[in-house]
Amino acid sequence: MGKFDSYKVDLKNMKEDVLRIEYQLGNSFFVDIDEDNIQKGKVKVNLTIKKAAGVYDMSFVSEGVVIVPCDRCLDDMELPVSTSNRLIVKFGKDYSEESDEIVVIPESEGIINLAWFLYEFIVLTIPIKHVHSPGKCNKAMTSTLKKYTPKKAGDDDDEEISVAATDLDEDSFVSDPRWDALKNFKEEDPDNN
Protein backbone atom coordinates (compact mmCIF):
# COMPACT_ATOMS: atom_id res chain seq x y z
CA MET A 1 0.00 0.00 0.00
CA GLY A 2 1.41 3.39 -1.03
CA LYS A 3 1.73 6.28 1.39
CA PHE A 4 -1.05 8.25 -0.36
CA ASP A 5 -3.48 5.40 -1.10
CA SER A 6 -5.84 6.58 1.63
CA TYR A 7 -6.36 9.82 -0.34
CA LYS A 8 -7.62 8.02 -3.45
CA VAL A 9 -11.31 8.40 -4.21
CA ASP A 10 -13.01 5.98 -6.61
CA LEU A 11 -15.47 8.27 -8.38
CA LYS A 12 -16.41 5.76 -11.07
CA ASN A 13 -17.88 3.36 -8.49
CA MET A 14 -19.40 6.02 -6.24
CA LYS A 15 -22.91 4.81 -5.34
CA GLU A 16 -24.24 7.82 -3.43
CA ASP A 17 -25.09 11.20 -4.92
CA VAL A 18 -23.36 12.87 -1.95
CA LEU A 19 -20.29 11.45 -0.22
CA ARG A 20 -18.60 12.91 2.85
CA ILE A 21 -15.00 12.12 3.79
CA GLU A 22 -12.89 13.44 6.67
CA TYR A 23 -9.11 13.56 6.55
CA GLN A 24 -6.76 14.20 9.48
CA LEU A 25 -3.50 15.52 8.06
CA GLY A 26 -0.70 15.13 10.59
CA ASN A 27 3.08 15.40 10.59
CA SER A 28 3.52 12.19 8.59
CA PHE A 29 1.37 13.57 5.73
CA PHE A 30 3.56 16.67 5.39
CA VAL A 31 6.79 14.64 5.67
CA ASP A 32 5.55 12.20 3.01
CA ILE A 33 4.69 15.04 0.61
CA ASP A 34 8.40 15.98 0.92
CA GLU A 35 8.16 19.70 0.16
CA ASP A 36 10.01 22.51 1.93
CA ASN A 37 7.04 24.78 2.67
CA ILE A 38 5.49 22.70 5.48
CA GLN A 39 7.09 19.87 7.41
CA LYS A 40 4.65 19.57 10.33
CA GLY A 41 1.04 20.31 11.05
CA LYS A 42 -2.35 19.16 12.18
CA VAL A 43 -5.17 19.95 9.78
CA LYS A 44 -8.67 18.51 9.62
CA VAL A 45 -10.23 18.43 6.15
CA ASN A 46 -13.93 17.83 5.54
CA LEU A 47 -14.65 16.84 1.95
CA THR A 48 -18.11 16.76 0.41
CA ILE A 49 -18.49 15.22 -3.06
CA LYS A 50 -21.69 15.82 -5.01
CA LYS A 51 -22.27 13.74 -8.13
CA ALA A 52 -24.45 15.04 -10.97
CA ALA A 53 -24.42 13.92 -14.61
CA GLY A 54 -20.83 12.63 -14.63
CA VAL A 55 -19.46 15.74 -12.90
CA TYR A 56 -18.14 15.56 -9.36
CA ASP A 57 -18.26 18.79 -7.36
CA MET A 58 -15.82 18.56 -4.45
CA SER A 59 -15.93 21.04 -1.57
CA PHE A 60 -12.99 21.07 0.86
CA VAL A 61 -13.07 22.81 4.26
CA SER A 62 -9.72 22.77 6.07
CA GLU A 63 -9.03 23.91 9.66
CA GLY A 64 -5.93 23.53 11.79
CA VAL A 65 -2.33 24.67 12.17
CA VAL A 66 0.89 24.14 10.24
CA ILE A 67 4.47 24.64 11.38
CA VAL A 68 6.68 26.75 9.11
CA PRO A 69 10.08 28.40 9.64
CA CYS A 70 10.06 32.05 10.68
CA ASP A 71 11.51 34.21 7.90
CA ARG A 72 13.49 36.24 10.44
CA CYS A 73 14.95 33.78 12.97
CA LEU A 74 14.32 30.44 11.18
CA ASP A 75 12.75 28.87 14.30
CA ASP A 76 9.50 26.96 13.84
CA MET A 77 6.29 28.92 14.21
CA GLU A 78 2.61 27.97 14.07
CA LEU A 79 0.34 29.37 11.40
CA PRO A 80 -3.41 28.84 11.53
CA VAL A 81 -5.06 27.24 8.50
CA SER A 82 -8.66 28.00 7.60
CA THR A 83 -9.68 27.59 3.99
CA SER A 84 -12.50 26.49 1.73
CA ASN A 85 -11.74 25.18 -1.74
CA ARG A 86 -13.61 23.68 -4.63
CA LEU A 87 -12.58 21.16 -7.26
CA ILE A 88 -14.69 19.96 -10.20
CA VAL A 89 -13.73 16.54 -11.55
CA LYS A 90 -14.92 15.21 -14.91
CA PHE A 91 -14.18 12.06 -16.85
CA GLY A 92 -12.29 12.20 -20.12
CA LYS A 93 -9.77 10.31 -22.19
CA ASP A 94 -6.59 11.56 -20.46
CA TYR A 95 -5.67 13.36 -17.26
CA SER A 96 -5.62 17.15 -17.56
CA GLU A 97 -6.11 20.24 -15.45
CA GLU A 98 -8.38 22.57 -17.41
CA SER A 99 -8.19 25.33 -14.81
CA ASP A 100 -7.42 25.85 -11.12
CA GLU A 101 -10.76 24.27 -10.24
CA ILE A 102 -11.44 21.79 -13.07
CA VAL A 103 -9.64 18.46 -13.43
CA VAL A 104 -10.26 15.74 -16.01
CA ILE A 105 -9.34 12.18 -15.07
CA PRO A 106 -9.28 9.11 -17.35
CA GLU A 107 -12.69 7.45 -17.34
CA SER A 108 -11.00 4.05 -17.67
CA GLU A 109 -9.47 4.56 -14.20
CA GLY A 110 -12.14 6.68 -12.51
CA ILE A 111 -9.92 7.30 -9.46
CA ILE A 112 -8.43 10.57 -8.26
CA ASN A 113 -5.72 10.90 -5.64
CA LEU A 114 -6.40 14.04 -3.59
CA ALA A 115 -3.16 14.15 -1.54
CA TRP A 116 -1.43 16.79 -3.67
CA PHE A 117 -4.60 18.90 -3.96
CA LEU A 118 -4.99 18.88 -0.16
CA TYR A 119 -1.39 20.01 0.23
CA GLU A 120 -1.74 22.78 -2.36
CA PHE A 121 -4.92 24.12 -0.75
CA ILE A 122 -3.06 24.42 2.57
CA VAL A 123 0.13 25.92 1.10
CA LEU A 124 -1.92 28.62 -0.63
CA THR A 125 -3.07 29.88 2.80
CA ILE A 126 0.49 30.58 3.94
CA PRO A 127 1.37 34.27 3.63
CA ILE A 128 4.43 35.20 1.58
CA LYS A 129 6.06 36.66 4.67
CA HIS A 130 5.70 34.80 7.95
CA VAL A 131 7.45 36.01 11.08
CA HIS A 132 6.94 35.62 14.81
CA SER A 133 5.09 38.37 16.61
CA PRO A 134 7.40 41.04 18.11
CA GLY A 135 9.57 39.65 20.91
CA LYS A 136 8.92 35.99 20.07
CA CYS A 137 11.88 35.41 17.70
CA ASN A 138 14.99 33.49 18.76
CA LYS A 139 17.05 35.99 20.79
CA ALA A 140 20.44 34.72 19.57
CA MET A 141 19.41 34.93 15.92
CA THR A 142 17.83 38.36 16.45
CA SER A 143 21.06 39.72 17.91
CA THR A 144 23.09 38.24 15.04
CA LEU A 145 20.65 39.72 12.53
CA LYS A 146 20.85 43.08 14.27
CA LYS A 147 24.63 42.96 14.07
CA TYR A 148 24.60 42.52 10.28
CA THR A 149 21.56 44.64 9.36
CA PRO A 150 22.51 47.95 7.68
CA LYS A 151 22.00 50.87 10.04
CA LYS A 152 19.82 53.84 9.22
CA ALA A 153 21.42 57.23 9.55
CA GLY A 154 21.00 58.34 13.18
CA ASP A 155 20.26 54.84 14.57
CA ASP A 156 21.33 54.02 18.09
CA ASP A 157 22.79 50.58 18.82
CA ASP A 158 20.23 49.97 21.58
CA GLU A 159 17.20 50.09 19.27
CA GLU A 160 15.41 46.89 18.32
CA ILE A 161 15.86 45.76 14.73
CA SER A 162 13.06 46.82 12.50
CA VAL A 163 10.30 44.33 11.82
CA ALA A 164 11.03 44.52 8.13
CA ALA A 165 14.37 46.05 7.17
CA THR A 166 13.44 45.48 3.53
CA ASP A 167 10.51 47.87 3.89
CA LEU A 168 12.85 50.82 4.54
CA ASP A 169 13.57 53.16 1.67
CA GLU A 170 17.08 53.05 0.23
CA ASP A 171 17.89 56.69 1.11
CA SER A 172 17.56 56.02 4.85
CA PHE A 173 20.70 53.83 4.98
CA VAL A 174 24.25 55.07 5.48
CA SER A 175 25.74 55.43 2.04
CA ASP A 176 28.44 53.09 0.75
CA PRO A 177 30.95 55.22 -1.20
CA ARG A 178 31.56 52.41 -3.68
CA TRP A 179 27.98 52.82 -4.91
CA ASP A 180 27.71 56.62 -4.78
CA ALA A 181 28.74 57.01 -8.43
CA LEU A 182 25.74 54.95 -9.50
CA LYS A 183 23.32 57.41 -7.91
CA ASN A 184 24.21 59.94 -10.60
CA PHE A 185 23.58 57.45 -13.40
CA LYS A 186 20.17 57.82 -14.98
CA GLU A 187 18.87 55.91 -17.95
CA GLU A 188 17.82 58.20 -20.76
CA ASP A 189 14.13 58.10 -21.51
CA PRO A 190 13.77 57.21 -25.25
CA ASP A 191 10.55 59.29 -25.45
CA ASN A 192 12.34 62.51 -24.33
CA ASN A 193 15.23 62.75 -26.85
CA-to-CA distance for 171 and 57, rounded, in angstroms? 53
Domain limits, the chain: 5-123, 139-186
| Confidence band of 160 (pLDDT split at 50, 70, 90) | very low
Q: Looking at the predicted structure, is the pLDDT value of residue 154 above 60?
A: no
3-class secondary structure, 4: coil
Report the alpha-carbon distance of residue 81 to residue 50 in Å, rounded: 24
Going by C-beta distance under 8 Å and a sequence separation of 6 or more, which residues neighbour residue 118? Answer: 7, 23, 25, 29, 45, 60, 62
Per residue in 84-99, pLDDT tens? 999 999 998 888 888 8
Task: Give CA angle at 82 (81, 87), nearest 5°.
Answer: 110
28-58, pLDDT tens digit by residue?
999 999 888 888 999 999 999 999 888 999 9
Which is higher by pLDDT, 127 or 184? Answer: 127
List phi, psi (to 5°) of 156.
-95, 150
pTM over 0.85: no
